[in-house]
Amino acid sequence: MTNNNHPVRVRFAPSPTGHLHIGGARTALFNYLFARNLKGAFILRIEDTDRERSTQEYTDFILKGMEWLGFEWDEGPFHQTERMALYREYVEKLLKEDKAYRCYCTAEELEVRRKALLAAGKKPKYEGKCRNLDPRLPAGSLAGSTIHDPRKYCIRFKAPQTGEVVFKDICRGEIKFNREELDDMILLRTDGTPTYNFTVVVDDVTMHITHVIRGDDHLNNTPRQIQLYEALHSPTPHFAHLPMILGPDKQKLSKRHGAVSVVEYKTQGFLPEAMLNYLARLGWSHGDQEIFTKKELIAYFDLHTVGKSPSVFDIEKCKWVNHQHMVRLSDQEIFVATKPYLEELGIEIDVADYDFGTKAVCSEKERGKTLKELAEVSAFYFRDALVWDEKAVEKWLNEEGKKRLKMLREAFAHLKNWDAASVQIAFKEVQEKLEIKKMVDLAQPCRVALTGTTVSPGIFEVLAILGQERSLKRLDHALNTPAHK
C-alpha cells in the first residue's frame, strides 16, 4: 500500500487548548516513528479553529514539548486559522454540487429537539429540517451572495442516508457504521468559521496525508469524515486508532494524576529518550525487549503490532526505564545532564571542578532514578554545610562515635597518598587498633560526618572523591559540633 513513489505522509494535529500531555505525546510519537520508519513525512498542524479556547501560550507549550521529545517535523507548523479561505472554497464546491446546504435552524430550536429525541430514547441527530430547502432561495452574505436574507444560517453537509461506511483500521481491523447513524453535520458555523470534522478532512486532503494516526476517541468521527472524503472525490487515507492512556484509577489521564504537560517530566528529571521508550511500550512491544534507543524504536516500530486496549500510565515503571537510560549514559553525559538540577538546588559548579563533579555525580548514579533525584542525592558532595539527618547524628555521632572518628581523623591526616585504596588501609588499621569487630561501627560515624546521612556510596569511594582536605574538614566539623540541630 505504500511504495517508493508514494512515501507516507502523516500528521500530528493538536489543538492549542491545553498542554501537550502524555496521551498527545504518545500519539505524536507513533506518528513520528511511523514516518521515520517508512522514510515518510511528519507534519505538524495546529488545530486552532476554536478561537475561544485556543491560545498562543498553549501553542508554545506544545512546540516546546515536541522539541524536548525530539519530534522534528518536516512540514509546518500549519495553523488552521490561516487556511480559512481554503475551507470556504471547499464549502462552495460542496454547495455547488448539492452536497451541502444552508440551515436556518437556531441553536435553541436544535437544543429542544435534541433533548426531545434523547428523552424518547433515540439517538439525538439533526433531523434534516432544512435539508431540502430550495438552494436558490435568497441567501445571506456568507457565501458571497449579494441578496440578503436577514436570517442567520450555517452550512450543513448533506450526508448520504443509506448504506454503510466500512473501513479497515490498521490497529483494529474492519469497522462498520450504518450511514443512518450519521447526521448532517455542520461544516460552517453561523459566524462563517469551519468546524473540526470539516477542517481535518480538507487539511488531510490538501496535505496529502496517507495515514491518519490518532487517539481512538476519534473512532466515531471517522465515518463522518469518510463521507466527506467521498463527497470531495478524494481517496480516503488509512486510519489507525490508538488506544487511550489511563491514570492508575483507570480513568482518563488528567491533572489529578499529576503531571499534565510532558514538559513537567523534564523538570522532574526524566530523559527525553526514556520518555519515548516508556511511551512507546504503552500499547506497543517488540518481543521481550524493554529498553530501546530512539534509533531502535524507529527501526522496529510497526503500527500493525499496536494493541487495542487502553493502558495505564505507571510512573514507577517510567522511572525504572528512565534509570536504565541514565545508567547507559557516559559519565560526562550524566554530569552534564544532572548539572541543571544541581543548580536548581543552588549548587553552582566551577568549570575547574567538572572532574570532581563528574566523579561525585556518577558515584551516585545507582541511587537516583531521575536526574532530579540524582542531583539531590549527590548534593552533599558540593556543600560543606551539610544537611544533617537528626536520627543519624543521634545514633552515630554520639560520644563513642566521636571517639572513633577522632582516631580516624588522625590516621587520615597523616596519609601521603589519598585514594580509595590508601584510605581503606588507614581505615582498617584504626578499626583493628580500636578492636571494632564490625566495620559498620566505624563506617557509619564516618559516613554521617561526611554526608550528613547514613546512606551514600561506598565510604572509601566517598572519601576518595571528596579528597583529603575536604574530608578532614568535614570530620573536624563533626567532631567540634557538640550537638547538631
Partner RNA sequence: GCUCCCUUCGUCUAGUGGCCUAGGACGUGGCCCUCUCACGGCUAAAACACGGGUUCGACUCCCGUAGGGAGCACCA
Residues annotated as part of the active site: 255
Q: Which of residues 255-274 bind RNA (CB under 7 A)?
A: none
Backbone region of residue 303 per phi and psi (left: phi > 0; alpha: psi in -120 to 50; beta: other values): alpha
Please enumerate, as own/partner, the contacts of 476-483 that have beta carbons within 8 Å and a separation of 24 or more: 476/409, 477/384, 477/449, 478/397, 478/402, 478/405, 478/448, 478/449, 479/402, 479/405, 479/406, 479/409, 479/449
- Cα gap 159→465, rounded to integer Å: 74
- Strands laid side by side in the 164-169 sheet: 75-79, 41-46, 9-12, 211-215, 238-242, 164-169, 173-178
Q: Where are the alpha helices (DSSP H) in 304-368?
A: 315-327, 331-344, 354-363
CA distances from 53 to 24, 58, 112 (A): 17, 10, 26
Nearer to RNA among residue 290 and residue 344 (C-beta): 290
Q: Which of residues 402-431 bind RNA (CB under 7 A)?
A: none
- Cα gap 318→314, rounded to integer Å: 6
Cα angle value 64/65/71 (rounded, 5°): 100
Q: Is 222 helix (H, G, I), strand (E, B) or coil?
A: helix
Q: Name the residue among 352, 410, 357 with its Cα closest to residue 380.
A: 357
Is residue 55 within the footprint of RNA (CB under 7 A)?
A: no
| Least distance in angstroms from the C-beta of 352 to RNA | 28
Enter the C-alpha cell of residue 416: 601521603
Does residue 188 contact residue 196 with C-beta atoms inside 8 Å? no
> Of 66-74, 201-209, 408-416, 436-444, which segment contacts RNA by CB under 7 A?
436-444
Among 190, 206, 422, 481, which residue interacts with RNA (rule: CB under 7 A)?
190
| Least distance in angstroms from the C-beta of 53 to RNA | 6
| Least distance in angstroms from the C-beta of 235 to RNA | 22
> Of 136-144, 229-237, 454-462, 464-472, which segment contacts RNA by CB under 7 A?
454-462
Binding string to RNA for residues 89 to 118, with x set by CB under 7 A, is what? --------------x-xxx--x---x---x
Nearer to RNA among residue 77 and residue 354 (C-beta): 77
Among 461, 470, 481, 484, which residue interacts with RNA (rule: CB under 7 A)?
461
Binding string to RNA for residues 322 to 361, with x set by CB under 7 A, is what? ----------------------------------------
- Cα gap 139→155, rounded to integer Å: 11
Q: Which of residues 128-187 bind RNA (CB under 7 A)?
A: 152-154, 172-173, 175-178, 181, 183, 186
Does residue 260 contact residue 291 with C-beta atoms inside 8 Å? no
Enter the C-alpha cell of residue 285: 512491544
Nearer to RNA among residue 76 and residue 310 (C-beta): 310
CA distances from 402 to 380, 390, 484 (A): 20, 15, 13
Is residue 122 within the footprint of RNA (CB under 7 A)?
A: yes
| Least distance in angstroms from the C-beta of 119 to RNA | 9
| Least distance in angstroms from the C-beta of 256 to RNA | 14
| Least distance in angstroms from the C-beta of 237 to RNA | 17
Backbone region of residue 192 per phi and psi (left: phi > 0; alpha: psi in -120 to 50; beta: other values): left
| Least distance in angstroms from the C-beta of 348 to RNA | 26
Does residue 275 contact residue 265 with C-beta atoms inside 8 Å? yes
Nearer to RNA among residue 37 and residue 285 (C-beta): 285
Among 92, 127, 149, 216, which residue interacts with RNA (rule: CB under 7 A)?
216
Nearer to RNA among residue 40 and residue 101 (C-beta): 101
Nearer to RNA among residue 189 and residue 294 (C-beta): 189
Q: Which of residues 278-297 bind RNA (CB under 7 A)?
A: 281-285, 287-288, 290
Strand partners for 154: 103
The DSSP call for residue 233 is: T
Residues in the chain: 485
Q: Which residue has the cell 534509533?
A: 295
Nearer to RNA among residue 39 and residue 148 (C-beta): 148
- Cα gap 70→371, rounded to integer Å: 18
Among 86, 143, 219, 298, which residue interacts with RNA (rule: CB under 7 A)?
219
| Least distance in angstroms from the C-beta of 221 to RNA | 5
Is residue 367 within the footprint of RNA (CB under 7 A)?
A: yes
Nearer to RNA among residue 216 and residue 333 (C-beta): 216
Strand partners for 50: none
Q: Which of residues 304-323 bind RNA (CB under 7 A)?
A: 305, 307-312, 314, 316-317, 320
Binding string to RNA for residues 11 to 30, with x set by CB under 7 A, is what? ----x-x-------------
> Of 46-54, 131-139, 332-340, 346-354, which segment contacts RNA by CB under 7 A?
46-54
**Are β-strands 100-103 and 154-157 bridged in parallel, bridged antiparallel, or unpaired?**
antiparallel
Site residue total, RNA (CB under 7 A): 86
Among 456, 465, 468, 474, which residue interacts with RNA (rule: CB under 7 A)?
456
> Of 140-148, 349-357, 405-413, 449-457, which segment contacts RNA by CB under 7 A?
449-457
- Cα gap 185→404, rounded to integer Å: 83
Cβ-based burial of 336 (10 A; exposed 0-12, middle 13-18, buried ≥19): middle
| Least distance in angstroms from the C-beta of 6 to RNA | 25
